[in-house]
Amino acid sequence: MPAQYRRHVLLALFLTLSAGLGCALLVERNGWAAPSSLSSPAGAAHMVDAFEAVSGPQPGFRRNHAKGLCVSGRFDSNGQGVALANTGLLRTGSYPVTGRFSVVGGNPSVNDTQGGMRSLALDISNGGETWRMALNSSPVFFVRTPEALLEQLQASVPADGREARIRHFRRDHPESQAFEDWMAAHRPSTGFDNAAYFSVNAFRFNSADGQEHLVRWRLQPETPYAPLSDEQIAQNDPDMLSYGLASRLAEGPLRWHLILTPALPGDPVNDATQLWTQPGHQEIDAGVLVIDAQQPQMDGPCRDIDFNPLILPPGITPSDDPLLQARGAAYAESHRRRVREMAGQ
């Protein structure tokens, strides 16, 4: 792996705050302190301030995943998912989708070759129910708790001594090793179209017969994965991903299968830093996401959507993963600020 690209990937480890990446963090001029509740409105406001401390203010843009593009299509459910969750969006049918592909970080002008992650956010609706997802191209997250994210952001703020702070953070948080190992073994895909996207966190699925299942899911592309080459990295194309997606869509719609994976006894359901490695997991193919159009994010249909992963349909609720409630509060605060800034512009 080229040294320059390796540096970009390591930086992404600290700037990817994802599957959504929401927690409340406080930046103070003379130090760092956690608000009393990292999922409270006040804590979420401090978190958004902290994102701006890392990437600089970008009025009107999302505080993370600032660079992206809108897409639209449908979710064709085959009905098999209702065995796990009694929700209308998993019953047999076709449901409209608005989505957004993006790269990590708060800079809307970031070069597409500089990040190791791709992300996909979705809004699936049947007119009465809505399911929003915030998915990353890594199946695990870098830290387990909002408090650890606070330390991560402290290490990442551009200032003297940042490299030493990052080394200390990694030493103090060995749970981050699984993410680093996965990133080292999986080069980013050549495009948005041939990446798999993961929920990272587990969610509770409640079936019609009263059974509860803790579930992670992924969107598995029909387009075969291809890793980014050294030559592509060296070309340093700033908009490689958006141009590539437009070219692929010109050939026809793109498809991903929604794969639901219920936990087995003993799986770490409240720890997003750990893979589920036990043998014998059931995987349910619940249907196909079809993306057939791309739009610019500045005036496209995804612009005003808050892709809060806690906006869930009946039959699906959050797990006890400590990251989830903090994510929801942060998404709401970031959306509120963007709306205000766009109105001012």
| Domain range enclosing 194 | 3-344
pLDDT band at 2 (very low <50, low <70, confident <90, very high): very low
Mean pLDDT of 192-198: 98
Cα–Cα–Cα angle for 225, 327, 222, rounded to 5 degrees: 15
221, with CB counted inside 10 A (0-12, 13-18, 19+), is: buried
pLDDT tens by residue, 74-106: 999 999 999 999 999 999 999 999 999 998 877
Q: What is the pLDDT of residue 18?
A: 35
Q: How confident is the model at residue 286 (pLDDT cuts 50, 70, 90)?
A: very high
Q: Which alpha helices (DSSP H) does the chain contain, by range?
A: 3-15, 41-55, 146-156, 162-172, 177-185, 230-235, 240-251, 322-344
Residues 19-36, mean pLDDT to the nearest whole number: 33
> How far lies 276's CA from each of 47, 219, 343, in Å?
29, 17, 44
Number of separate domains in the chain: 1
Would you say residue 182 has pLDDT above 90?
yes
Any idea how long the chain is? 345
pLDDT at residue 133, rounded to an integer? 97
Q: Which two tokens stand for residue 135?
A: 């998915």
193: left (phi over 0), alpha (psi -120 to 50) or beta: alpha
Q: Please tell me which residue, 221 or 331, carries the higher pLDDT value.
A: 221
- Higher local confidence (pLDDT), 192 or 150: 192
Within 8 A by CB and 6+ apart from 88, the residues are 126, 128, 129, 313, 314
The pLDDT value recorded for residue 29 is 28
Average pLDDT, the chain: 84
Residues sharing a CB contact under 8 Å with residue 209, sequence separation 6 or more, in sequence order: none
Identify the CA nearest to 214 among candidates 176, 259, 262, 166.
262
Instruction: Tell me the whole-structure pTM to 2 decimals.
Output: 0.84
In this predicted structure, what is the pLDDT of residue 53?
59
User: Which residues, 6 or more positions from 134, have their beta carbon under 8 angstroms from its beta carbon?
Assistant: 18, 19, 20, 21, 119, 121, 307, 308, 309, 327, 331
Q: Rounded to whole angstroms, how far apart are CA atoms 155 and 100? A: 29
Q: What percent of the chain has pLDDT over 90?
A: 57
pLDDT at 4 over 60: no
Report pLDDT for 345: 65
The CA distance from 112 to 103, in Å, is 7
- Residue 117 sits in a domain whose CATH number is 2.40.180.10
